[in-house]
Amino acid sequence: MVLVYTEINKNRVKKSSLECVQYASKIAALTGGGVTALVNQASAEHLEELGKAGATAILNMNNESLNADHMLSCAAVEQAVKQCGAKVIVFAFDIAGKAIAPRLSARLKAGLVAGAIDYPVVNGSTFEVKKNVFSGKANAIYTIHSEVKIISLLPNSFPVVLGENKATIQDFQPDLSAVKSRITIKETKSNATGGMVPLPEAELVVSAGRGMKGPENWGMIEELANSLGATTACSRPVADLHWRPHHEHVGQTGVAIRPNLYIAVGISGAIQHLAGVNGSKTIVVINNDKEAPFFKSADYGILGDAFTVIPKLTEAIKKFKANQN
């Protein structure tokens, strides 16, 4: 049995959770057994969606307190592992996955590969799993030797294709009385994203750097993003200068993303910036310096002044969209 940790966020099953369910169903096809999704406070639609992604069974919890401390969610996962006899546990390599999967690994003495980018190769009692290392410059194949195996999957590594499968649903009440949480939440703050898809989940991203000269020039970046339905991002100096909020900063120190399309405007393409974006499927670079290193890591390059190129690109996209409808 493969157990998948899934989450609901903003009343949607997280995209990364659906990817994990689908990934788990491929593993189940290799090892035999089904896929159990563990979820908290899912509605009928959420449960249906998890089934369509490939869950054969769902353990639905109803526990408000779980989200308060990863120690609690880890204990819940541990009990679910026991209940369904899981030998493989799948997480997304996201905020929750980065906190819960390592704790679970230590508790179960189960080997963890964090940030997998491909399906495991089953080799006798071991798994071989590929992940990015050296901030995307290389890959490594890890062997998991332990009997129970944990994999966290890098978001946006696989597309999700929903089928017609229906899962059997069971209420699940983990007993958390023995877990003493020592964390109290004082305040919760939301990033002002203006309705855009959150950066880690975004398939289309428009990002801009110091080449934009100042925050007053971001209007045209937002308009370009809008025309595509893309999420905006920025380079580190732009966030450090407070031209843009910190949650938009991508790269080694910021968020690592791998959208289908990454448009970089006025960004030089420093290695630490590339570390967070070189997993993108297609990269478009707009820069007025033909020596800008980013051109070496791009699929399409436009040599020109952002201030003239961006309005033209926005217009071309609007025209394209209008023709499609």
Partner 1 sequence: MKILVAISNVPDTTTKIQFSDNNTKFNAAGVTFIINPYDEWYALVRALELKEANLAEKVTLIHVGLPDGDATIRKGLALGADDAVRIDAEGPDSFFVADQIAAYAKEKGYELILTGKETINYNGSSVAGMIAGVLDYPLISLATKLDIAGGKLTAEHDVDGGSRVVECELPAVISCAKGMAEQRIPNMRGIMAARTKPLEVVKPINSPEVSGPLTSVKSFDLNPGRTSCKMLGEDQMDELVKLLHTEAKVI
How far, in Å, CA of 222 to CA of 229, rounded?
10
Structure tokens at 292: 């800008």
Binding residue (CB under 8 A) for partner 1 from 11, 171, 189, 195:
189
Q: What is the DSSP letter of 230?
A: P
Decide: is 251 part of the binding site for ligand FAD (CB under 6 A): yes
Return the one option of partner 1, ligand FAD, none that residue 268 interacts with (CB less than 5 to 8 A, by type).
Answer: ligand FAD
Return the one option of partner 1, ligand FAD, none that residue 235 interacts with (CB less than 5 to 8 A, by type).
Answer: ligand FAD
Decide: is 128 part of the binding site for partner 1 (CB under 8 A): yes
Please answer whether residues 307 and 288 qualify as being in contact, where contact means their C-beta atoms are separated by less than 8 angstroms: no
Query: To the nearest whole angstrom, how small is the minimum distance from the Cβ of residue 115 to ligand FAD?
Result: 17
Return the one option of ligand FAD, partner 1, none that residue 266 interacts with (CB less than 5 to 8 A, by type).
Answer: ligand FAD
Decide: is 254 part of the binding site for ligand FAD (CB under 6 A): yes
- CA end-to-end distance (rounded Å), the chain: 45
Query: To the nearest whole angstrom, how small is the minimum distance from the Cβ of residue 79 to ligand FAD?
Result: 38
Which amino acid does the sequence have at 205? Answer: V
Decide: is 267 part of the binding site for ligand FAD (CB under 6 A): yes
The residues pairing with 92 across neighbouring beta strands, listed in sequence order, are 153
Query: To the nearest whole angstrom, how small is the minimum distance from the Cβ of residue 271 to partner 1?
Result: 6
Return the one option of partner 1, ligand FAD, none that residue 237 interacts with (CB less than 5 to 8 A, by type).
Answer: ligand FAD
Please answer whether residues 20 and 6 qualify as being in contact, where contact means their C-beta atoms are separated by less than 8 angstroms: yes
How far, in Å, CA of 184 to CA of 186, rounded?
6
Decide: is 292 part of the binding site for ligand FAD (CB under 6 A): yes
Decide: is 221 part of the binding site for ligand FAD (CB under 6 A): no
How far, in Å, CA of 265 to CA of 177, rounded?
52
The pair phi, psi for residue 150, each rounded to 5°, is: -120, 130
Decide: is 315 part of the binding site for partner 1 (CB under 8 A): yes
Please answer whether residues 151 and 143 qualify as being in contact, where contact means their C-beta atoms are separated by less than 8 angstroms: no
- Which residue stretch of 7-15, 19-27, 170-178, 270-278 sits at the interface with ligand FAD (rule: CB under 6 A)? 270-278
